[in-house]
Structure 1
Amino acid sequence: MKENLIKSKQRVQKHGEVFTPAWMVQKMLDTPGVKEACENVSATFLEPSAGDGNFLQAILERKLEAVVRQFDKRNWKTKSLVALSSIYGIEFLEDNLEVARSRMFLCYLDWYEKNLRTRLNSKNNVYRSAHYLIHKNIVRGNTLTQQHPVTGEPIWFNEWQMVKGHPSLVRKIPFALSELLGKEVEDDRTVVEGQLSFSDIDDEFRIEDEAVEKTDKIEEITIQKVYLLGD
C-alpha cells in the first residue's frame, strides 16, 4: 500500500510536516545501538517530533516482542507496561497527537489479545494503566520552547522508576522537559538518530537522587494499577 507522507501542502508549508515512511522507520531502528535499545524493555526513548506516532508504534512493537522472548509468561503484563512506560513523545499538532496515542493503545491491546489470549476491557487494571501511561508519556508541546503551544505551560513528564527489590513497583517522579534537556546538554551523552533520540533509563534518563530527595511528589504503586495515581 502507498503511504500518505503529507496531509496537505498547507501543513507542509506551515509546519514542515512530512511523515517518515515505514521502511525508513525500520531502517533507523535497525541502527547499531538503537536496535539493541529497542530490545531492552526498560530503555527509554523520547521522540521530540512524534507526528502520528509511526516511530512510537514501531518501538513499542519491538519492545513487546522482546517481552515475549525474554520473560516468563506470568511476567508479561508487568513487563509490557514497563515497556510502554519507557516510550515518550512530544507532538505540536493536536490531531496528530490523538492519532499517535490511539496507535499506541491499539497496538498494545492487539498484542495483549494475541499473546495472552484474552481481550482487555475498560474496567481492567492493565487496560486503564496502559491508557494512563500513554496519555502521560505522549503529550502536546513544542520541543524547541519546551512549552505547550497554546497555554505556554512547561512540558512535564513523569519517570516511572522501578523500585529495587520490587519487580512490579514503580515510583512516579515528575520532571520538566527543560530539566532533561539541560542534563543532556551538560553530559553530552544522548544518542540522536534523525528525529529520534534515546537514552538508557539506568543512566541518562534517571532523575538524580538529590532531586528526588527535594520533592514531595514522589509516589509508589504497582505498575498494573498506576492509573490510580491520577493527575
Structure 2
Amino acid sequence: MTSEKLIKSKERVQKHGEVFTPSWMVQKMLDTEGVKEATEDIHATFLEPSSGDGNFLVAILERKLEAVTQQFDKMNWKTKSLFALASIYGIEFLEDNLELARFKMLDNYMKWYEKAFGERLSVNTGFYKSTKFIIHKNIIRGNTLTKRHPDTDEPIIFSEWKRVKGKPSKVEWSEFTFASLFGENVNVERGIPEGQLSLFDLDGDGIDDIALDIEKKMEPIIIDIQKVYQLEEK
C-alpha cells in the first residue's frame, strides 16, 4: 500500500509552509458533531481558507452529492447537485494547487453525474459549462491573510448563489468581497455588495444571511442555476 504524499518539496514547505492534511484526518474532522450534519445539508456553506490541492473540498463535495443522491430523484438531481456544489468555497495561494483543486472538484462531480445517469457528462453541454463556471467562481486564488490576489493585489471576490423562494431551479447571483465577511470595506472599481457574512452558515440557507444596512451597488441577476454559464457573457 502506497503511503499518502503530504508534501511536494522541502522548498515549498520552507517557503509556504505547505503540508497537506492526510485523508484520514480530513474525514475525522468532517465527522465532528455539527460539521458532519452540515456536510449532509446541500445548502450549508463551507469555506476552506487554505484549499491546497482540494482534499477538504472534494471530501465535502462527496458527502453533499451522496446526500443529493439519497434525498432526491433523478429529475431533481441536476439542480440540487449544483446548489450543493455552489455551497463550497475555497481560497488557495499557489496557482498549481488551485488548478489541481478545481480539476479534482470537476472530475469528482462528473463521476457522480455518471453514477446518477449512467453516462458521461458531455463537455459541450451548457450544464457542464455551468458546473465548471461555479467551481471557478467559488474556488479562487488569493492570500487569505491580506484578502487579496497575491499577484494583482485586487480584492478576493466571491459569488453568492442565493435561492429564489418559490422557484426551485432559480438562483439570485451577485458578488461580494472576502473582506466583507469580516465587516471590512474594500475600495474596488467593480460594484459589489459589502457587508458582514459568516464563514460557515450551517442553518441550511447558504451565504445569504447578509447583515442589515448593506449598500448593494449592483443588481443581483436571477437565472436558472443550470444556465449560470451565461453569466460569463454579461
What is the total number of aligned residue pairs between the two structures?
221
Query: Which deviates the most, 154-163 or 68-77?
Result: 68-77
Quick one: which amino acid aligns to residue 153 of structure 1?
A: E
2:14 aligns to what?
13
2:200 maps to 1:198: yes
2:17 maps to 1:53: no
2:85 maps to 1:68: no
**What is the 5 A alignment of 1:75-224?**
75-182=76-183, 198-200=200-202, 202=205, 205-208=208-211, 210-211=213-214, 214-224=216-226
Quick one: which amino acid aligns to residue 219 of structure 2?
A: K
Work out whether residues 91 and 97 of structure 1, in 8 Å CA contact, stay in contact via their aligned partners in 2: yes
Work out whether residues 162 and 208 of structure 2, in 8 Å CA contact, stay in contact via their aligned partners in 1: no
Work out whether residues 162 and 206 of structure 2, in 8 Å CA contact, stay in contact via their aligned partners in 1: no
Which is richer in helix? 1
- CA distance, structure 2, for counterparts of residue 115 and residue 203 of structure 1: 24
Q: In the TM superposition, what is the alpha-carbon distance from 1:42 to its structure 2 partner?
A: 0.6
Quick one: which amino acid aligns to residue 9 of structure 1?
A: K
Same amino acid, percent of matched pairs: 61
Work out whether residues 174 and 218 of structure 2, in 8 Å CA contact, stay in contact via their aligned partners in 1: no
- CA distance, structure 1, for counterparts of residue 212 and residue 175 of structure 2: 13
- CA distance, structure 2, for counterparts of residue 158 and residue 117 of structure 1: 31
1:31 aligns to what?
32
Q: In the TM superposition, what is the alpha-carbon distance from 1:209 to its structure 2 partner?
A: 6.4
Q: In the TM superposition, what is the alpha-carbon distance from 1:72 to its structure 2 partner?
A: 2.0
- CA distance, structure 2, for counterparts of residue 112 and residue 72 of structure 1: 13
Q: State the superposition RMSD in angstroms.
A: 2.0
Work out whether residues 45 and 207 of structure 2, in 8 Å CA contact, stay in contact via their aligned partners in 1: no
SS of equivalent to 1:89: strand
Work out whether residues 52 and 101 of structure 2, in 8 Å CA contact, stay in contact via their aligned partners in 1: yes
Quick one: which amino acid aligns to residue 177 of structure 1?
A: F
SS of equivalent to 1:199: coil
The normalised TM-score by structure 2 is 0.89
Quick one: which amino acid aligns to residue 175 of structure 2?
A: P
